């Protein structure tokens, strides 16, 4: 039997991406995210307009999409509630996503490579650094900006289309006998499913720092409705 629900978030299971961009002072920012999908050599990135990564990408038109494997949980958790936005500690309610980050324990971190214990690696086509520990890295340039939630007259979220310029992968995930193929039996991506971290198997790979944020906390930013996911508002087994 199906029952009607209204999720606060729609993270059904997508790869985790660590996006590196260049800050105004020439240093590099890292943003963990999972609202990404690929078609051909293009990738669509769903990012908040006020995100530090979004601002960097709109300004420089360059980034690197670094894909962590499922054994990189500690690195991802170290970045999970950090932000390159310097004023998060003093954010006001009107600041939207920035205020959301303040209320959920995000802290401003300028050098995220050092903070997470990751190693910067020079890129070949773009300025932002690659992340050496990530088995797959895609240097990319911004080629399109698409507003989301246009029916709500909102400018809170953008879908940023980037074109992959160059791809780098660790030898241990390449398919034997093929120059340009990834062996899916060897590639173990990290997957985010409703804030929890998974590999391709049925079990979580460990605790997720991001999952400490209640899902309903995202509702004002994602899917506002009158009721919420509480026993008082929607008793177990209630059908609509």
Q: What is the pLDDT of residues 192-201, one digit of tens each?
A: 999 999 999 8
237 within domain boundaries: no
Q: Decide: 16 and 34 in contact? Cβ < 8 Å.
A: yes
41 within domain boundaries: yes
B/e letters for 150-162, b = 16+ CB within 10 Å, e = fewer, are eeeeeeebbebbb
Whole-number pLDDT of residue 97: 64
6 within domain boundaries: no
236 within domain boundaries: no
Nearest to 194 by CA among 71, 4, 13, 5: 13
pLDDT in tens, 118-162: 999 999 999 999 999 999 999 999 999 999 988 888 788 999 999
Q: Give 100 or 92, the one with higher predicted confidence.
A: 100
Which residues constitute the domain of residue 160? 14-218
Q: How many domains does the chain have?
A: 1
107 within domain boundaries: yes
The CATH number for 190's domain is 2.30.110.10
239 within domain boundaries: no
49 within domain boundaries: yes
238 within domain boundaries: no
Q: Decide: 38 and 15 in contact? Cβ < 8 Å.
A: no
Whole-number pLDDT of residue 138: 98
Of 29-33, 34-38, 212-216, the range with the lowest mean pLDDT is 212-216
pTM of the model: 0.83
């Amino acid at each position: 039997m199906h029952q009607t629900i209204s999720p606060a978030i729609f993270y059904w299971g997508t790869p985790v991406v660590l996006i590196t961009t260049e800050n105004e002072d020439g240093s590099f920012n890292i943003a963990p995210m999972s609202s990404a999908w690929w078609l051909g050599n293009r990738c669509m990135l769903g990012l908040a307009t006020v995100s530090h990564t979004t601002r960097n990408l709109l300004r420089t038109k360059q980034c690197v999409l670094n894909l962590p494997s499922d054994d990189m949980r500690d690195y991802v958790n170290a970045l999970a509630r950090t932000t390159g936005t310097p004023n998060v500690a003093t954010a006001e309610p009107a600041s939207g996503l920035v205020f959301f980050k303040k209320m959920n324990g995000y802290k401003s971190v300028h050098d995220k490579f050092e903070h997470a214990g990751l190693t910067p690696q020079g890129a070949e086509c773009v300025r932002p650094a690659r992340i050496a520990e990530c088995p797959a890295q895609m240097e990319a340039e911004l080629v399109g900006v698409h507003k989301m939630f246009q029916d709500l007259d909102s400018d809170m979220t953008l879908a940023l289309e980037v074109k992959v310029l160059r791809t780098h992968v660790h030898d241990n995930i390449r398919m034997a006998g093929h120059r340009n193929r990834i062996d899916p039996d060897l590639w173990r991506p990290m997957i985010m499913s409703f804030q929890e971290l998974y590999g391709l198997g049925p079990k979580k790979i460990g605790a997720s720092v991001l999952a400490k944020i209640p899902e309903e906390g995202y509702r004002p930013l994602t899917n506002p409705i009158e009721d919420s996911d509480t026993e008082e508002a929607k008793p177990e087994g209630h059908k609509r």
